[in-house]
Structure 1
Amino acid sequence: MLAKTMFGLEGILAEELRKMGAQNVKPMNRAVSFKGDKGFMYKANLNARTALRILKPIAHFQAHDEKELYKKLCEIDWTEIFDLEATFATHATTHSEVFTHSKYASLVMKDAIADTFRKKFDKRPNVDPENPDVSINLHIAKHTCSVSLDSSGDSLHKRGYKSDAVITPMNEVLAAGLILLSDWNRIANFHDPMCGSGTLLIEASFIAYNIPANIFRERFGFEGWKDFDEELWETIKEVSLEKESHYYGKITGSDNFQKAVRISRENIENALMYDNIKVTNSDFFETEIAPETFVMFNPPYGERVDLGVNDFYEKVGSTLKHKYQGCSIWLISSDIENMKFIGLSPSRKIKVMNGKLDCSFRKFEVYEGSKKASGQ
């Protein structure tokens, strides 16, 4: 099988899958390959925090032109995979001089599937590009074609707890990945001083209490497959929920915008974490944080910054030096060049991507008393 992820999170996802019991785990570019049975596929979809989707390969073959591609796709017995009454959607990615248009390759696969059903039943299933029962992926590299079933359906970053969001909210998979990349020990208090929609706070609480990442999703792709085992799926959910653990620290957040506070509280309530996460309406630049707090945040950038970018980061650095003494601080930003104006030397730098944006995830340690971090 193949688990898709974001750049920079491959190692974290590989470790997640190993801990869950996957075999032959191999990190790749934005993906991790592994071996597992049907039950493990269910478990990975439910529990993997840094996977975007789990693909199950069903066919590999060579195709040198459109006719050969169509013929090979027709050799797959699609009627054994899903029923005539089910809806389906096709997606393709191509890296080939022959198959240059991914949408056309996807259309060839759609026609092959429809014709397979028509030949057997004199009818074809309907296509639903938005909410299909079954989603099929075609990947073409030169002449090598791989066909996979998307066991996740919607991207796994859609956890099911977010009813609203502020402008440019953080992707849930990225948020979980950043927390797992960091050195939070799940004992210290966790604080996000620019919490926005509350994504980092909710993902931190799920990690702290060992709650399955996707327990609030209404549906997964595999539920539309012909071989879906509902009894096994219910057992997987029950066993996963039984592994919830204790966390005795505090998870808190704040934001300067009342709308963000309202949205984050709604999302926290949707995640059934209202008693475990507290959010206040307060200004980052005016708030002092207790020593030994673990701090992580995603400052606004671009048009979201009222001050000039240089002034903004200088003010962030000054606030960290004077109001966050004794804290471990992790910060992610795409304003990589301007992060030097924070005026603190990072003890760690990790390259990640937020969508198409190159980002730097950095750790700053602000010491109490005379031992201060040097300027950058």
Structure 2
Amino acid sequence: MDKDFKMVATTIFGLESVLADELKQLGAKGVKESVRSVSFRGDKGFMYKANIALRTAIRILKPIKTCKIYDEEDLYESIQKIKWEKYFNTEETFAVSAVVNSKNFTSNSHYITLKSKDAIADYFRYKYDKRPNVDLQYPDVKIHIHIQKDWLTISLDSSGNSLHKRGYRSATNIAPINEVLAAGLVLLSGYTGDQNFIDPMCGSGTILIEAAMIANRIPANINRKHFGFENWKDYDEDLYFTIQDSLLKKIKNSHFKIMGFDKAPSAVRKAQQNVINANLDEFIGIHHVNFFNSKKEVFGDTTILFNPPYGERLSIDVKEFYTKIGDTLKHNYPNSTAWIITSDMDALKYVGLRTSKRIPLKNGDLDCRFVKYELYEGSKKSKKNNTDIIY
């Protein structure tokens, strides 16, 4: 039986507690939150499970060395002391990434990456008179360097490509939302598949797809073609497929409606293609509808969740646009809970509805708020003209 070891799952700022809850539900041990990351313990099988199932993780790192360092020479020497042939050989390729948060290092992360790469290459050259090549796109082994104050952590990246690359998105629109953030928004909203779900400005359909996978308990990365750990010397293919099969057996069918609207025909086509790629077309309906001309036509409680234009990368009249969002929600969507993410704090003033929750998040480099509105029937008379009926 494999022994437990420490791992670190990285994530987006604001999703640390969501990721920690995911890990606990999967069965992780010693779960501990940090900024943009959560550490935990598990065995090899759990590492496979975490990569396949976690919705809000960007990478799953396996630390192989932690020590104190004070300058670039310490960094070089610490990396050279690792027996790198345990992890890969001179015929395989590697790549290094680095994150630096230390006053001791005035160099940027790119320089630290180069210094670390040289230390690994020199290790092989000195010992075997040959060095492995670097491949930034498709390396056999990815190595992550993290410097926090005086502490260096060297890890193997078990994920390979970022876990937000689920494998279903072949078409995107302007300013598409990251899949990890989309899943995090759905989980923060409390949606579990036990009510209707609408994304009224669905773009390429990412939020809808993540919601459908949550509703049906489909593993987040089941469509991925490859994980980094598949190149490792100790990769156990039988164990991997056993873990994958056990997760697939937990899939269920949600019978509530999941719908997306967009006013742009091109966006509708892209969303429909991505839904097909994710094998979720029987669960998600995409409609060519302008949200501002729509009304609620589904029975029962409904979660409305969307990522409207911020005005950062898409040109809009912010006051008019967000006023229309508020008017449409309060007049046409009774008995619903609406969630909006935006980086434009002033724009929220124009919605004209009282927020019941405000959660700080990051969307790329943008500081955002994820806000909740509770909409009740009877508070306003419904508009009866110029509406698209949605079934």
Which bracket does the TM-score occupy, shorter chain normalised?
over 0.9
Matched residues, percent identical?
Answer: 53
Does 1:33 find its partner at 2:39?
A: yes
Could you tell me which residue of structure 1 aligns to residue 95 of structure 2? 89
**Offset, 1:69:** 2.2
Deviation sequence 1:3-50 (CA, Å, 0-9, x none) = 101111111100100111111101111110111111111100110000
Does 1:156 find its partner at 2:163?
A: yes
Distance 2:113 2:363 in 1: 27
356-365 or 61-70, which deviates more: 61-70
CA contact (8 A) 1:89 1:134 kept: yes
Distance 1:147 1:96 in 2: 15
**Offset, 1:219:** 1.0
Could you tell me which residue of structure 2 aligns to residue 61 of structure 1? 67
CA contact (8 A) 1:79 1:116 kept: no
Deviation sequence 1:60-102 (CA, Å, 0-9, x none) = 1222333332222111001011132221001122223342222
- Amino acid of the residue matched to residue 94 of structure 1? V
Match for 1:137 among 133, 144, 148?
144
Distance 1:71 1:105 in 2: 13
- Describe the shift of the 1:234–1:247 C-alpha distance in structure 2 as closer, same or farther (beyond 3 A): same
Residues matched between the structures, number = 372
Could you say what secondary structure the match of 1:302 adopts?
Answer: coil
**Offset, 1:108:** 2.0
Could you say what secondary structure the match of 1:41 adopts?
Answer: helix
Does 1:302 find its partner at 2:311?
A: yes
CA contact (8 A) 1:17 1:48 kept: yes
Could you list the runs of 5+ residues in structure 2 that have no partner in the other structure? 1-6, 382-391
CA contact (8 A) 1:94 1:100 kept: no
Provide TM-score, normalisation by structure 1: 0.95
Does 1:255 find its partner at 2:262?
A: yes
- Amino acid of the residue matched to residue 63 of structure 2? P
Equivalent residues in 2 for 1:279-358, closer than 5 Å: 279-290=286-297, 292-302=301-311, 307-358=316-367
Equivalent residues in 2 for 1:208-287, closer than 5 Å: 208-287=215-294
Distance 2:73 2:368 in 1: 43
Could you say what secondary structure the match of 2:350 adopts?
Answer: helix
**Offset, 1:153:** 1.0
Distance 2:282 2:304 in 1: 20
Could you list the runs of 5+ residues in structure 1 that have no partner in the other structure? none
Distance 2:116 2:186 in 1: 39
Distance 1:73 1:154 in 2: 23
Runs of 4+ in 1 over 6 A off after TM superposition: none
CA contact (8 A) 2:66 2:153 kept: yes
**Offset, 1:128:** 0.6
Could you tell me which residue of structure 2 aligns to residue 7 of structure 1? 13
Could you say what secondary structure the match of 2:220 adopts?
Answer: coil
Could you tell me which residue of structure 2 aligns to residue 122 of structure 1? 129
Could you say what secondary structure the match of 2:61 adopts?
Answer: strand
